[in-house]
Chain A
Amino acid sequence: MSIAVRNLVKNYGDHPAINDISFDVKTGEILGFLGPNGAGKTTTMKILTCYMPPTSGSVEVDGMDISDKSLDVRRKIGYLPELNPLYLDMNVLDYLEYSAQLHGMRGQTVQRRLKEMVEVCGLGDVRHKDIGELSKGYRQRVGLAQAMIHDPELLILDEPTSGLDPNQIVEIRNLMKHLGTAKTVILSTHILSEVQATCQRVLIINEGKIVADGSPEQLQRDFQGAETITVEFKSGSVNPLEDIAPKIRSVPYVNAVSLLSHTDGISSFEVHVEKGHDVRESLFRIAVSEGWVMLEMHRRATTLEEVFHKLTTS
């Protein structure tokens, strides 16, 4: 199940919601769409699921164009829309059965899949309840269950963990990872830790354009600015700014040193290092040769949050 998106444009009136987006997704990949609200994540998903056509550009799913093979494409896709719409007056099993039937399943197959989905999504206790009576977490599971009921090759999940509590988020994440081995998954979120926890690849979208594409680690590396190291020494020195700081400053690639705190002969510094260099070993050796005891050393890398912030604010 591969996806090829080419030069996708969608205008709402005069306002472009997405503006010339192109990307590919390979089989088995878990792709995260990241972007601020209104960036075009949901619009892109609505086009992929054949809910609405693009203004221009094309999408091929498994080599089939979504505009002329719409029904065949839809057969392969499981979709969880943004607000997880459900029929509140139906009970869980009836709703899942209905979903299965609309995917062309009949008879024994339906019953078998229902059983599997109730198991996988942990719906056993609520399977006879009306969906309207369920908590948000259970509703989300029902939403996932209906998306997976026909064992789709491609899952498109729009903010699958929104509104859930931290425990539920972990459960849903595990569920997705569990699935992700055989299926292609596209999910959108604005929770960055989620992307780090589940996705092999991230697309950051801002104002309708792709501004970054890569694995979370790769993005962090690419957008790594000057590095900061926090280091704490026990030296017995009374005046660390004169005794210690200049020595640290003399280490190659160190751009600046500032004293954070100094109490009882324990001083901690913030060391700014030139991009792409690691000075931790040199710092350690200096400490040894000067007879300082190193109590703490910590390198703060650029987080995905910072990458995101940098790319989506201008």
Chain B
Amino acid sequence: MSGFSNVGPIYRRELRSYFNSPVAYVVIIVFLAIIGWFFSNNLFLINVASMRVVFDLVPLVFLFFIPAITMRLLAEEKKSGTLELLTTRPVRDVEIVLGKFLACWTLLAAALAPTLIYLITLLALGSPDIGPVIAGYLGLLLMGGVYIAIGLFASSLTENQIIAFIVGFLIVLALYLADKVLMYVPQSLASILEFLAIDYHFSSIARGVIDSRNIIYFASVLGFALTLATVSLQRRKW
């Protein structure tokens, strides 16, 4: 039997642990506040009713937030020793990684959901183009998923949550900055870097163009990071 039946219990425990602690609420409230601030600035000061600002800003917020909510996922269990117990139960390592990944992804979705209130405000005020907004949210979820997978991998490397945060942050920062340094690199490297850059794919989705290239990018980086996390979890066996 090698199904994924243990993903469910691990997912539920992890999610409950987020919502039993202040973590989930802090994330949700701070998220809502930051985005609300910039959204209403645009709305009232510049008289622009647009979700554009949300999609420009959230990727930056993600850079800090996501490593912060993923850093404990495996590092904490390593430190407290519960990971030893978990891995001696009839549970496959990939189920542990998936359960935790999905729980964190759910928290992210829960943090994004209240920002839909700004969209409702826009709909009340005017008639914005709804297509790019939906695409933008999809892009945020995909981008967040990739960040979470990377953060989970960083968390699997160490039992120190601070190190997990820093490593996770540096990796996602590198992915984010990859297409911001194009003028400094040779032409031949530029196109590779651009393809690796997460913001390049995100912006393209956020414009409302959902290209299979972008989806494949997100899916493969996400899958790769989760695989790395699983392999890293098995390091104890080396």
Which of A's residues lie within 8 Å of B, judged by CB?
A: 46, 49-53, 71-72, 74-75, 77, 79, 81, 83, 85-90, 94, 98-99, 101-104, 146
Contacts and interface: CB of A to CB of B under 8 A. Distances in A.
A51 B82 contact: no
A86 B82 contact: yes
Contact of A89 (B2, B21, B84, B89): B21
Given A85-B84, A87-B82, 6 more contacts: A50-B88, A72-B90, A74-B88, A89-B17, A101-B9, A102-B86
Contacts of A71: 1-2, 90, 92
Interface string B156-199: 00000000000000000000000000000000000000000000
Given A85-B82, A98-B9, A74 B89 contact: yes
Contacts of B2: 71
Contacts of A77: 88
B89 A102 contact: yes
B236 interface: yes
Given A52-B237, A89-B21, A104-B5, A74 B82 contact: no
A81 B91 CA distance: 17
Contacts of B84: 46, 51, 81, 85
A270 to B, nearest CB: 49
B159 to A, nearest CB: 12
Nearest to B86: A102
Contacts of A85: 80-82, 84-85
A83 B9 contact: no
A45 B208 CA distance: 56
A74 B89 CA distance: 6
A102 B9 contact: yes
B20 A74 contact: no
Interface of B: 1-2, 5-6, 8-10, 13, 16-17, 20-21, 80-82, 84-92, 236-237
Contacts of B88: 49-51, 74, 77, 79, 81
B18 to A, nearest CB: 10
Contact of A81 (B8, B85, B92): B85
Given A86-B82, A90-B13, A98-B13, A75 B237 contact: no
A103 B82 CA distance: 16
B40 to A, nearest CB: 36
Q: Which of B84, B85, B91 has the most CB of A within 10 A?
A: B85
Contact of A102 (B6, B20, B237): B6
A88 B13 CA distance: 12
16 contacts: A51-B84, A71-B90, A75-B90, A79-B85, A81-B81, A81-B88, A83-B81, A85-B85, A86-B82, A87-B13, A87-B17, A89-B17, A94-B16, A101-B6, A102-B9, A102-B86
A104 B90 contact: yes
Those 5 A-B pairs whose CB atoms lie nearest each other, nearest first: A85-B81, A101-B9, A49-B88, A85-B82, A74-B90
A52 B85 CA distance: 12
A88 B89 CA distance: 19
A98 B237 CA distance: 25
A248 B216 CA distance: 95
Contacts of A46: 84
Contacts of A94: 13, 16
Given A87-B82, A98-B13, A51 B236 contact: yes
Contact of A103 (B17, B80, B89): B89
Contacts of B236: 51-52
A111 B31 CA distance: 39
A51 B236 CA distance: 8
Nearest to B81: A85
A49 B21 CA distance: 32
B13 A103 contact: no
A103 B20 CA distance: 24
A244 B189 CA distance: 103
B9 to A, nearest CB: 4
A241 to B, nearest CB: 62
B9 A51 contact: no
Contacts of A88: 80
